[in-house]
Structure 1
Amino acid sequence: MSQFIILIQGDANRWKTMSAQERDEIDTAHREFWQKAGDAVVASGELQGPETAVTVRRGDDGQPVAVDGPFTEAKEVVGGFYVIDVADREAAVALAAGLAEARHDHSGVQVQPLVDHSAG
């Protein structure tokens, strides 16, 4: 088995203005994801908006400093995630493809394997 992170990305402003029908479609797809994935889900969560984020990075004096926001150049932000433990990449992609965010024009779903540090 291998662990993968599924990052749900999208336009935060668009998420705030979604219709009830769009929100219901997304919620339904997440319930279906859980039913299909079952015990393969190791962790999951929906993130609060990017305006609540804090980024910690090196300050001018070399010490870590906290600044508001993710400050990414991209229009899309991460809105949620799943960590799953499945047989292979194809299984991870198949699960991710069932999420409504993979079908909407303002979002996407990234699937990436996690590095296993336990063998060292």
Structure 2
Amino acid sequence: MIPTEGNDLMAKYMLLIYGDAAQWEAMTPDERAAHDARHAAFREAAGPRVAGGEELEFAPNATTLRAGVTGEPITTDGPFLETKEALGEYYLVEAADLDEVLRLAALLPEVHASHSAVEIRPVVFHG
């Protein structure tokens, strides 16, 4: 929980948006515009509860850092896991509870597409 204006306590939730990059790349300009409009509607509805968020480059542009055989860090191209659905975007949202986050996240187009999903994960507060 984090303190907010008026000393109310709000929790932070990370909304991790996964999907098939091939599906996103195949969108027509009209489909992309509709997709972007749904994200704009989400941001409008969430207002100041959105504490951050960005669209990410496609998974093949990722670099993964992990321990090598000797324990020294090594880098590899791409994401850690081989999967059809990859992390494509995220939002950091402050909300009173999970129910509020679920109502907001339901506005995201990835919740309604067959190739994507939104993972909602509470953020741990260490304060």
TM-score per shorter chain, which class? Answer: over 0.9
Residue equivalent to 2:54: 45
Query: d(CA) in 1 for partners of 2:42 and 2:90?
Result: 12
1:116 has 2:122 as partner: no
* Runs of 4+ in structure 1 over 6 Å off: none
Q: CA deviation at 1:22?
A: 2.0
Match of 1:31 among 37, 40, 50: 40
Say which SS state the counterpart of residue 124 (structure 2) adopts.
coil
Query: d(CA) in 2 for partners of 1:7 and 1:56?
Result: 20
What TM-score does the superposition give when structure 1 sets the normalisation length? Answer: 0.94
What TM-score does the superposition give when structure 2 sets the normalisation length? Answer: 0.89
Say which SS state the counterpart of residue 27 (structure 2) adopts.
coil
Unpaired segments ≥5 residues, structure 1? none
Residue equivalent to 2:111: 102
Unpaired segments ≥5 residues, structure 2? 1-9
Say which SS state the counterpart of residue 36 (structure 1) adopts.
helix
1:16 has 2:4 as partner: no
Range with greater deviation from structure 2 (14-23 or 90-99): 14-23
Matching residue's letter, 2:47: G
Aligned residue pairs, count: 118
Question: Over residues 11-43 of structure 1, what are the superposed CA-to-partner deviations in whole Å (9 max), with x where a residue is unaligned?
Answer: 011111112232122101111111111111111
- The root-mean-square deviation of aligned C-alpha atoms, in Å, is 1.0
